[in-house]
Every structure is written in structure tokens, then in C-alpha cells.
Structure 1
Amino acid sequence: MPLSLPVSAPTAHVVWRQADHDLWVATLGGEFAGTLSTDDSGRHHVTDRIARPVLSTTSWTAATTALDAPAPAPGRRRRRRRGGGRPDGR
């Protein structure tokens, strides 16, 4: 009888590459994951892969680890249709 053991996939890490003097681009598993930009006051602004703001901080460490945390699971909210009723007008 074959023995089966749980196999864990290797953990992917965010990789940051500098694109400009005040802009860094993140990849995760080879895919675009977000950006980190630094403004003139030294504040770091992190966005996710679809340009949603994630964090604004003065801490470089906090900024570069902001995309490391797993995204929260999406809620099970139901969408409400505009105008109410059924799509066929009944």
C-alpha cells in the first residue's frame, strides 16, 4: 500500500526591483504584485496589483513587507441589482 504524505508548496516571496529613484515594483511568483513609491517627504505608498492603496508609512520595513501578508478572503456579499427585480423585467 503506497504511503501518502502531505506536500507543502514552496512559499513564494515578494521580490522588489527598483524602477526609478522613487519607485519600486513588486513581483510574487513572477507576477506583478504592486508598487512602492516614495514622496518628497519620505513617506512610502504601497499599492497592490490592481493599484488599490495598501499602506502609507514612513517605515521602509513596513512598506516592503506590506504585500507579504496574505490577502483577506473575499466576503460572501450578494450583489444587489440596480432597479431591483429580475433581469428579464418580471
Structure 2
Amino acid sequence: MHWDVSSYVRYTLPDALWVYAFASFLCVKWVGEPTSMWRTTFIVLPFLLGPGSEVAQFIFPTLGTFDVIDLYSMVLAYIAAYSVSKYVQKEWYHGEK
């Protein structure tokens, strides 16, 4: 298997950055809120839409071309966004609670 950085930047990175940006945006709003159905829904939504769409391509090949690198990149982007949001929220509100 040949891995090309320019192909990664062109095809995979935009999807991963989209998931990261969307997850970061929603986590900034919802990470510090009390646990609720809405909070859980909005925090999980980027994970369902990003990596979920890649899994759908695996199940239904007519929807697109499945790529495991895309899947891993989007999962890592989501985890990074959530982790950074938790860290920032903890540092930002340290001592206020």
C-alpha cells in the first residue's frame, strides 16, 4: 500500500478538519452543561455525521468510496476536539466551581 501525503491533504484532511471544527464548535457550547439528552445528542452529532458517513459508505458502496484512513482520521479528529474542549473547559473554569 502506497501512502501519499498530497493525497491525504487533498482527500482526507478536509473531512477530518470538518469533523474537528464541528465537534469543537458544539463541545464549546455543551461540554460544561449538565448531562441531558440534548447535551449528549449535540456532542455525539459530529461523530455520527463524520465517521458515520464513512461507515455508511462501507455498508452501502453506492453512497461513496469507503476509506479506512478517512475513518481513522475523522475518529481521531473527533477525539482531539472533545479532549481539547474538556481541557480548555477545565482550565477556563478552574476555581469557579
TM-score w.r.t. the length of structure 2 is 0.22
Structure with max Cα Rg: 1
Which structure has more RCO (C-alpha within 8 Å, separation ≥ 6)? Answer: 2
Structure with greater strand percent? 1
> Which structure shows the bigger proportion of residues in helix conformation?
2
